[in-house]
Amino acid sequence: MSNLQQYSQQIANEADTYFGQWISSNQFSNPNLVPLVKESVAHSFLGGGKRFRPVLVILTGEMLGLSRQQLWPFALAVEMIHTYSLIHDDLPCMDNDDLRRGRPTNHKVFGEDIALLAGDLLLTESFGVPVAAYGSQPQLALELVRLMVEAAGGLGMVNGQILDILAQKNKPALAQLELLHSQKTGALIRLCVEGAAVIANASPTDRRQLRLFGEHLGMAFQIADDILDHNEAELENCSFTSFMSVQAVEQRLQQTSQMAIDCITGWGDRAKNLKELVQFNLNRKA
């Protein structure tokens, strides 16, 4: 395990602890919340996962001189959106998956109705997290919520998912495939980086540069996913490997990763962990 992998694992473990504590408090400790919904949320939210997005929030924020304490609430909010999207993506009306992270999907355990609502709960409550945590700085809270809407909404993940559904029926053009992935997967990864920049009160130039970094990293994350799926013989219309050879997709992954790294060279040595994260994604196995 590389130093960054160990460091990321430590952040992911801390995230699990923080998320676990959060779920035992706030609205979740209110006796009026039906226990079944709480169990359903916990099943997916505390059920493993790489915690790639929280790690990205923390690594970006640390590069900008922030403490983890300042970043956890935002990392939590992003992971809530991510978890909602996975629960809904697994539903019978979407991908109809029985397993996620090697365990039964939410609807397989709790039924479609509860799973749908657990996802709704996570998405809705995610917006309350920055409002509560950064409420003493209303401009900051407002900007984070605005970014969350941008990433999750009609020009973000939801539109990406709709393009994905349409792509199953008619193979899209390559440019449409890029848009699909930048919205479905990339928007949330961009949000992690830009949100940390906003919390750090980064200059407009630095913020633009980091947003671009997040976009390239998001695309690289998706391309790596496509290569993994291809290796597991999961061929889809909306995969880069259905447009070009695996070698060409691997080359694209190299180029996109380099574009990401180029965006953060200005931070010199402080960008070491983020650069290693890009490198790690290049070779990831899961």
> Can residue 89 be called a binding residue for ligand GRG (CB under 6 A)?
yes
Rounded Cα distance between 130 and 76, Å, is 9
Residue 97 DSSP SS3: coil
Among 185, 209, 257, 273, binds ligand GRG (CB under 6 A): 185
CB 22 within 8 A of CB 76: yes
The candidate with the shortest Cα–Cα distance to 278, out of 36, 47, 63, 98, is 63
Does residue 50 bind ligand GRG (CB under 6 A)?
yes
Token digits for 21? 């504590």
Scan for tokens 């900051």, then name that residue: 140
Least distance from C-beta 143 to ligand GRG, angstroms? 23
Does 161 bind ligand GRG (CB under 6 A)? Our answer is: yes
Answer for the pair 83, 157: CB distance below 8 angstroms, yes or no.
no
Give the nearer residue to ligand GRG in terms of CB position, either 269 or 286.
286
Site string for ligand GRG, 223-262 (x = CB under 6 A): --x-------------------------------------
Q: Is 184 among the residues that bind ligand GRG (CB under 6 A)? A: yes
Could you tell me where the beta strands, DSSP code E, fall in 27-160? 99-100, 103-104
Give the separation between CA 283 and CA 286, rounded to whole angstroms.
9
d(CA 220, CA 56) in angstroms, rounded, equals: 14
56, 144, 151, 157: which one binds ligand GRG (CB under 6 A): 157
The nearer residue to ligand GRG, 81 or 200, going by C-beta atoms, is: 81
Would you say 84 or 213 has its CB closer to ligand GRG?
84
Q: From the CB of 222, what's the least distance to ligand GRG, in Å?
A: 6
- How long is the chain? 286
Q: Is 194 in the site for ligand GRG (CB under 6 A)?
A: no
Total of chain residues touching ligand GRG, rule CB under 6 A: 15
Give yes or no for residue 209 binding ligand GRG (CB under 6 A): no
284: left (phi over 0), alpha (psi -120 to 50) or beta: beta
Segment near ligand GRG (CB under 6 A); pick from 105-113, 129-137, 142-150, 156-164: 156-164
Nearer to ligand GRG, 42 or 142 (CB): 42
Please tell me the number of Cα atoms within 13 Å of 180 on its side-chain side: 21
Binding site for ligand GRG (CB under 6 A): 49-50, 52, 85-86, 88-89, 101, 157-158, 161, 184-185, 222, 225
